[in-house]
Amino acid sequence: MSARSRLRTGVILFGLLHVGVVCAGFFAPYDPAAQDREHPYAPPMRPHFVDVNGRVHLRPFFYAQTLRVGSYDEYEENRASIIPVKFFVRGARYHLLGALPLRTHLFGGDLPLYLLGSDAYGRDLFSRVLFGAQVSLLAGLIGASLTLAIGLCIGAAAGFWGGWRDEALMRVAELFMALPWIYLLFAMRAFLPLAVPPLQAFVLVVVVFAAVGWARPARMVRGIVISAKERDFVRAARGFGASGGYLLRRHILPETAGVVLTQVAILGPQFVLAEMTLSFLGLGMPEPVPSWGNMLASLQHYNVLVSYWWMYLPVVIMVPFFLGYLLLASLLQENSGAAKIEVARSGV
Amino acid sequence: MAILACVLRIHSAAAFAARAATAHANDEPLRLAGESGHAGGRIVIALRSEPKTLNPLTATDGTSREVISTMQADLVHINRATQLTEPALAKSWKISADGLQYTLTLRQGLKFSDGHPVDIDDVLFTFRVYLDEGVHASQRDLLIVGGKPIVVRKVDAQTVQFVMPKPYGVAERLFDSLEILPRHLLEPAYKEGKLAQAGAMGTAPDQWAGLGAFRLKEYVAGQRLVLERNPYYWKTDEQGNRLPYLDEIVFLFVPSADAQVLRFQSGETDLISRLGAENFAVLSRQARDSTMADAGPGLEYNFLFFNLNELGDKAPAELARKQSWFRSEKFRLAVSLAIDREAILRLVYQGRGAALWGPVTPGNARWANAALRYPGRSLDKSRQLLAEAGFRLATGESAQPRLVDADGRPVEFSIVTSSSNADRAKMAALVEDDLKQLGMRVQVVPLEMRSLIDRVTQTKEYDACVLGIASFDADPNSDINVWLSSGGMHLWNPAQKHAATEWEAEIDRLMEQQLTATTSVQRKKLYDRVQEILVERQPMIFLASPDILVGAKKNIGNFHPAVLEPYVLWNVEQLYLRNGAENARR
């Protein structure tokens, strides 16, 4: 497969996953916070096409699950009760793309359907994974963009003007890299008022990620800027009297595109993982708002680990996302402007 | 088979003969009924935290108390299974008709675990120390009745008299857990004013002694505490064999509940207590060589309470506004009625617990007010109460109608809960969802335990909180500083100078009265009224009480868990290992 078609496959796969996440309300059958107290820790349901009588259904159906008498987390399939899957059903209200209020869901049933099972409160894991991805991936994206914006400005300034400015900025960057950021976050959470609305707490945490994480990209950008400003075409432009701002904008910053794009792809998952770490420590998104981090937090309980295997499913679902990001990163690296110039030059 | 049993018995009798310390004819050991066991072997138990001290005077944390209970003894003891008093170091006692004089007769031939004989001066010394203000013993409050200390008098070499300033309702239960201290070891420290430092965890085994079934052998900081059999213990089994049966108890320090479960499952520990319902279910499912037992509802009660502190001008405006809701009894009752306690039972305790409406759990049938029953969840009644209190539903542009107060401000508050307690965090999440149905917007904030306690008792910066209290005794007095308005554990408004409300003043009066009431019928009547007021006024919204869930390896004999602490070790002197081969291997 050529690089181009691989890139295309990666982008399509990745795009599809993200469409699912962005339109979580539509694809998820339930409100991610809705509790179904009759079905705690329900295992995932399997879709069927052939019923017990051997009759083939064109429309997939599920068998209802009921708690075994006297048990609180063991279910049995009720073969007498068939739940046909219905499409485009009305259900819990949600806001598509955060704005459009809708009630139509892709699928649903007359009785609860748990594709990936349910958690301790009987909340649908499938819905929670989709909505949780919104939170976690958004955190990754915002965090990465902020980090790079800061890193780019500081790195470019340090590399382009050099001298004492370079010295000062790079020492500050080293200081930031040496910071024990996890303790910084602990401290920051303690300073916030007791009940910070989830979104606000989350944005604050992302801002801190960015504030702390800019140093590494800044150093990379600085390196590229230093080498780029000595290139012949830059010198030539300078000789023709181009101003510093023009040189940066027109000739030098474009050189850093490869690094920046690659860094977006790498930092994205890194921040998703960081958000997970925070939720794991109880610093991230508060219940009942789902995030991949707080979904994994329940796995630290021994009984969950050994009794309910489907609680691991969010992990399985995260893998293609992270692989997608990394695939994208390596492809962007191959296709970046700087690499092309190198290729062109060696070709001459 | 019969022959084998016979051989075993002979073997164990021989072992007993070898192990028994020289006994005198006039010794009066306490003979315990029940299954007789084999001598020897050791059991291993995990503790959730390291004990802070071995000194009964300064021990306030649960693990220290648990360890001390195996190393020390009291004059009169409350049997943790029957919850009744029984003779211990005192073989008998008499209470005068006016309820003012308690005369206790000491058992003959008692010896401390280092072999030093016990006499009445040890008892006098013990109570002098407990009552000495300079020592700051946690037991002192129990020995002050109506503001005056109890007077202790020596009658003769075996008899001691306690004179109460007023009749004392708890009667001989008073003496439970008042451990008799070794004067010969502690008097020098007492005279130097260094008693509080005695019995620190590094104490050498020959510098520490008690009258309990076990004595100190080895302590390795951060790892384990090893106790060995006290050869001078004053109890025997039915056949006259000196107890305890076991040679050793090893306490391992295993901080997390999940790690404790793993240790028990892998066979590293022999006993496990304080299990959560879910871990209990896992162990029950997988246990082949262990007995998992549900000892029934315990004395722990979990509850939600609101910040009712009077903060005056210090209060932030927002909190002051919220407090105007919290102070409304109708609001509190509405919240209480909206909470689905049955769901808490199922989802948090997997059915192993009880829904609560008052503070006294079903585990404490003797003191529970039977007239107070959980009326069941009723959202309609809740809504009606809220409407009466001036709240209404506002249907905005959002999907869910929101509850607003008389000024049109939305009802929003946060519930703090301990992040280390999974059960309570779960309860809070269920409460949050229940209250959403009334249109209240609640946010659960998990906090580290220490900062939570700090907020509730010191800074008072919180809206509402989910907590639990585990009483150490069934008697109402064990929780007296929760109910007295001056009490430090009067969580919704602690340490008040004067009772803030009429009903808190009434509870104060009733609790004082029951302290000095002479008959238990009178006390029960007074305490029933206290429970009634608490249910009427709902300063604490009682949620649920978990069962005491414990487990033991199958080869442990006489395993009879109780709902009072220490759940599995209360009869530690009678625990034994059934399997002789197993003993040898260990």
Buried b (16+ CB within 10 A) or exposed e, B517-542: bbebeebbebbbbbbebbbebbbbbb
> Which of A40, A286, A307 shows the shortest C-beta gap to B282?
A307
For testing the chain B interface, which of A295, A301, A305, A309 should be mutated: the one with the most B CBs within 10 Å? A301
**Tens digit of pLDDT for each residue in B220-265?**
999 999 999 999 999 999 998 999 999 999 999 998 888 999 999 9
**Tens digit of pLDDT for each residue in B278-291?**
899 999 988 788 99
User: What average pLDDT does this structure show over A266-293?
Assistant: 75
Confidence grade of residue B24 (pLDDT, cut at 50, 70, 90): low
Buried b (16+ CB within 10 A) or exposed e, A235-250: eebeeeebeeeebbee
> Which of A37, A93, A194 shows the shortest C-beta gap to B461?
A194
Size of interface A-B (CB pairs under 8 A): 74
User: Chain A partners of B426 at a C-beta cutoff of 8 Å?
Assistant: 120-121
What is residue B12's predicted lDDT score, i.e. its pLDDT?
44
* Cα pseudo-dihedral B161, B166, B170, B171, rounded to 10: 30
Two structure tokens written together for A331: 């492809």
> Which of A120, A197, A306 shows the shortest C-beta gap to B426?
A120
φ, ψ at A228 (rounded to 5°):
-70, -35
A270 pLDDT exceeds 50? yes
Three-class SS of B192-227: CCCHHHCCECCCCHHHCCCCCCEEEEEEECCCEEEE
User: Chain A partners of B345 at a C-beta cutoff of 8 Å?
Assistant: none
User: What average pLDDT does this structure show over A287-295?
Assistant: 83
**What is the average pLDDT value for chain A, to the nearest integer?**
82
What is residue B17's predicted lDDT score, i.e. its pLDDT?
45
Beta bridge partner(s), residue B447:
B418
Q: For residues A247 and B128, which has the higher predicted lDDT (pLDDT)?
A: B128
Q: Do B346 and A33 touch (CB under 8 A)?
A: no
Q: Do B282 and A302 touch (CB under 8 A)?
A: yes
Buried b (16+ CB within 10 A) or exposed e, B403-435: bbbeeeeebbbbbbbbbebbbbbbbbbbbbbbb
A189 pLDDT exceeds 70? no
pTM metric for this prediction:
0.83
User: What average pLDDT does this structure show over A255-280?
Assistant: 77
> Which of A121, A197, A301 shows the shortest C-beta gap to B422?
A301
> Which of A40, A282, A301 shows the shortest C-beta gap to B258?
A301
What is residue B258's predicted lDDT score, i.e. its pLDDT?
87
Put residue B425 in one of left, alpha, beta given phi > 0 → left and psi -120 to 50 → alpha.
Answer: alpha
Q: For residues B220 and B15, which has the higher predicted lDDT (pLDDT)?
A: B220
What is residue B2's predicted lDDT score, i.e. its pLDDT?
41
B582 pLDDT exceeds 60? no
Percent of chain A exceeding pLDDT 90 equals: 10
On whether any CB of chain A is under 8 Å from the CB of B432, the answer is: yes
Question: Do B402 and B444 contact (CB within 8 A), yes or no?
Answer: no
B381 pLDDT exceeds 90? yes
What is residue B25's predicted lDDT score, i.e. its pLDDT?
57
On whether any CB of chain A is under 8 Å from the CB of B260, the answer is: no
**Tens digit of pLDDT for each residue in A306-334?**
889 999 888 888 888 888 877 777 777 77
User: What is the three-class DSSP state of A337?
Assistant: helix
In angstroms, the separation between the Cα of residue B386 and the nearest Cα of chain A is 24
User: What average pLDDT does this structure show over A98-125?
Assistant: 88
Lowest mean pLDDT among B302-316, B347-361, B388-402, B494-508: B388-402
User: Chain B partners of A40 at a C-beta cutoff of 8 Å?
Assistant: 346-347
The span from the CA of B392 to the CA of B405, in Å, is 6
Confidence grade of residue B576 (pLDDT, cut at 50, 70, 90): very high
**Number of neighbouring beta carbons within 10 Å of residue A281:** 15
User: What average pLDDT does this structure show over B398-424?
Assistant: 86
What is residue B383's predicted lDDT score, i.e. its pLDDT?
94
In angstroms, the separation between the Cα of residue B179 and the nearest Cα of chain A is 38
Percent of chain B exceeding pLDDT 70 equals: 94
Q: Do A303 and B281 touch (CB under 8 A)?
A: yes
Q: How are the residues of chain A apportioned to helix, strand and coil, as percentages rounded to the nearest 5?
A: 60, 15, 25
Residues B449, B450, B451, B453, CA torsion sign: positive
For testing the chain A interface, which of B282, B441, B447, B547 should be mutated: the one with the most A CBs within 10 Å? B282
The span from the CA of B88 to the CA of B82, in Å, is 15
Confidence grade of residue B190 (pLDDT, cut at 50, 70, 90): very high
On whether any CB of chain A is under 8 Å from the CB of B454, the answer is: no
Q: Do A287 and B414 touch (CB under 8 A)?
A: no
In angstroms, the separation between the Cα of residue B444 and the nearest Cα of chain A is 7
Q: Do A195 and B414 touch (CB under 8 A)?
A: yes
**Residues 6 or more apart in contact with residue B317 via CB below 8 angstroms:** none
**What is the average pLDDT value for chain B, to the nearest integer?**
88
For testing the chain A interface, which of B398, B415, B433 should be mutated: the one with the most A CBs within 10 Å? B433
The span from the CA of B193 to the CA of B199, in Å, is 14
On whether any CB of chain A is under 8 Å from the CB of B88, the answer is: no
Q: How far is CA B558 from CA B35, B386, B460, B550, B555, in A?
A: 7, 53, 47, 14, 10
On whether any CB of chain B is under 8 Å from the CB of A194, the answer is: yes
What is residue B396's predicted lDDT score, i.e. its pLDDT?
66
Beta bridge partner(s), residue B466:
B304
**Tens digit of pLDDT for each residue in B432-488?**
999 999 999 998 888 878 788 888 888 888 999 999 998 878 888 888 889 999 888
On whether any CB of chain B is under 8 Å from the CB of A40, the answer is: yes
Amino acid at B27: D
In angstroms, the separation between the Cα of residue B533 and the nearest Cα of chain A is 32
What is residue B216's predicted lDDT score, i.e. its pLDDT?
95
Peptide bond preceding B476 in cis form (omega within 30 of 0): no
Confidence grade of residue A60 (pLDDT, cut at 50, 70, 90): confident
Two structure tokens written together for B321: 């506004």
B9 pLDDT exceeds 50? no
Amino acid at B519: T
Q: For residues A324 and B573, which has the higher predicted lDDT (pLDDT)?
A: B573
Q: For tokens 């999440």, what's the residue?
A: B429
Confidence grade of residue B13 (pLDDT, cut at 50, 70, 90): very low
**Tens digit of pLDDT for each residue in A10-54?**
778 788 888 888 888 899 999 998 999 989 999 999 888 888 888
What is residue B584's predicted lDDT score, i.e. its pLDDT?
45
On whether any CB of chain A is under 8 Å from the CB of B287, the answer is: no
Peptide bond preceding B182 in cis form (omega within 30 of 0): no
User: Chain A partners of B261 at a C-beta cutoff of 8 Å?
Assistant: 302-303
